[in-house]
Amino acid sequence: MKIFAANWKLYKTPTETRDFFSQFLEPSSKILNSNPGTEVLFFPPAVNLEAAVQSVKGFKVQIGAQNSYFESEGAFTGETSAQTVKSIGGTWILLGHSERRKLFSEADELIAKKFAHVQKLGLKPMLCIGETLEERESGKTKAVIQKQLSLGLSLADAKLSFAIAYEPVWAIGTGKVASLEQVEEAHAEVRTELSAKGFSAKTPILYGGSVKPDNAKALINVKNVNGFLVGGASLDAKSFLEICQA
């Protein structure tokens, strides 16, 4: 199974969302129909979720939110409810993205609670993990992967499905893609940790960090790379289609 996921961050209005899908959906359905094991999903900004869900009706493309809180409702100003995402037809929630961790001070313990809540609602969480440049250069990559997985998945239900996105922080939005060896090594570590913790060997592990049409083919053939989480290159329908074609 391969998953191609688009992280739109804080880009696009509802009108731009509809325009994107009017270019993307027809050609993408050819790819999806001829590759039954492939999934394509989008994480648009919360305000655009409804426009995205409406746009993809009748197509196999799935929609999810970039974050959600661990309660469905209450006095939590500014948060996004996973229950509401579900009620409009969303199926996935991205959690623990490095921008949430760094800019919004999200800790592993908070991410773990969000993860459990998303699973309880019957939605699929995609947990992002990855080391900073400083951590890599000081030889801490494995330790960071282990810590973020054990804390982030500490409340996870092994019977329910989810995905991991390994995104080295230094490769996000920088144009610096990790080498094939670095990706293979990190994904092997994630795979080992998941099985040691009793999670399914089928849990998809996506790579993210400056994935572009010209590096997608080599990256998708790396062992244990089960798809991509794409930021910048997913904003343009043509370039994201090329990546999905990989």
The set of catalytic residues is: 97, 167
Q: Which residues pair with 3 in a beta bridge?
A: 39, 227
Q: How many helices (H) and strands (E) does the chain have?
A: 10, 8
Residue of 66, 81, 210, 224 that binds ligand PGA (CB under 6 A):
210
- Give the DSSP letter of residue 11: -
Positions in 152-191 near ligand PGA (CB under 6 A): 167, 172-173
126 binds ligand PGA (CB under 6 A): no
Is residue 208 at the binding interface for ligand PGA, with CB under 6 A as the rule?
yes
Closest distance of CB 143 from ligand PGA, Å: 22
Identity of the residue, 90 or 208, whose beta carbon is nearer to ligand PGA in the bound complex: 208
Burial label for 147, CB within 10 Å (0-12, 13-18, 19+), is middle
Of the two residues 83 and 132, which places its CB atom closer to ligand PGA in the complex?
A: 132
One residue of 7, 28, 48, 66 binding ligand PGA per CB under 6 A: 7
Instruction: Measure the CA–CA gap between 63 and 50, rounded to whole angstroms.
Output: 9
Minimum separation from the CB atom of position 216 to ligand PGA (A):
11
Count of residues near ligand PGA by CB under 6 A: 13
Nearer residue to ligand PGA within complex by CB, 194 or 211: 211
> Which residue, 158 or 211, is less far from ligand PGA as judged by CB?
211
- Rounded distance between C-alpha atoms, residue 53 and residue 42, angstroms: 10
| Subset of residues 63 to 92 that bind ligand PGA, contact rule: CB under 6 A | none
For tokens 């648009």, what's the residue? 44
Q: How far apart are the first and last CA of the chain?
A: 13
What is the closest distance, in whole angstroms, from the C-beta atom of residue 92 to ligand PGA in the complex? 14
Residue 50 DSSP label: H
Question: Smallest gap, in angstroms, from Cβ of residue 58 to ligand PGA?
Answer: 27
- Distance in Å, CB of 230 to ligand PGA, minimum: 5
> Interface with ligand PGA includes 216 (CB under 6 A)?
no
Report helix, strand and coil shares of the chain as percent, to nearest 5. 45, 15, 40
Beta strands in the chain (DSSP E): 2-7, 38-43, 62-65, 92-95, 124-129, 163-166, 205-208, 227-230
Closer CB to ligand PGA, 132 or 158, in the complex: 132
Residue 169 vs residues 73, 134, 141, 146, 195: alpha-carbon distances, Å: 32, 10, 11, 16, 24
Which residue ranges make up the site for ligand PGA (CB under 6 A)?
A: 7, 167, 172-173, 208-211, 229-233
